[in-house]
């Protein structure tokens, strides 16, 4: 059995971690690796879930991983590593930012008002005859 070299593998975890900012050069050229190691485990777990469950929601878990990378949330595994556990660090702040983002996107989606004045609609005066039978 021949072992593939890392550069020949279709899924290069190290490259993904570097591109997504999990591996950064710190002071004295030391690599900050704690998040990189966890992210590598998380990516492997996500990949395994994709293969075992066709309905697995990849986007949600990648979003959770991005939040972990940005220090917005903490991620851990359950003891049996069957579940990935997600905890927002400042949920009130995150909810407020989400609400503001939704409001902003809603404003962009609303078409601009016409420059012509709106048509006037005659309001009932109460003098009209009733057509009830």
Cβ-in-10-Å burial (0-12, 13-18, 19+) of 46 comes to middle
The pLDDT assigned to 1 comes to 41
Q: Give the residue extent of every domain in the chain.
A: 9-108
**Which contiguous run of DSSP H or E holds residue 22?**
none
> Binning pLDDT at 50, 70 and 90, where does residue 5 land?
very low
> Binning pLDDT at 50, 70 and 90, where does residue 107 land?
confident
Q: What would the pLDDT profile of 22-66 be if each residue is shown by its tens digit? A: 766 665 444 567 778 888 899 999 999 999 998 998 888 998 898
How long is the chain? 133
DSSP SS3 for 75:
strand
The pLDDT assigned to 9 comes to 46
Comparing C-alpha atoms, which of 76, 96, 95, 71 is closest to residue 86?
76
CA atoms within 13 A on the CB side of 130: 2
The model's pTM: 0.52
**Which contiguous run of DSSP H or E holds residue 28?**
none
């Amino acid at each position: 059995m021949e072992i593939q070299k890392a550069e020949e593998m279709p899924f290069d975890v190290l490259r993904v971690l570097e591109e997504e900012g999990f591996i950064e050069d710190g002071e004295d050229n030391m690599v900050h690796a704690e998040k990189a190691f966890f992210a590598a485990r998380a990516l492997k777990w996500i990949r395994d879930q994709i293969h075992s469950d066709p309905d697995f929601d990849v986007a949600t878990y990648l979003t959770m991983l991005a939040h972990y990378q940005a220090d917005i949330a903490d991620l851990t595994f359950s003891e049996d590593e069957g579940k990935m556990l997600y905890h927002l660090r400042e949920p009130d702040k995150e909810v407020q930012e989400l609400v503001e983002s939704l409001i902003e996107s809603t404003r962009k989606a609303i078409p601009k008002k016409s420059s012509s004045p709106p048509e006037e609609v005659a309001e009932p005066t109460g003098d009209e005859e009733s057509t009830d039978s």
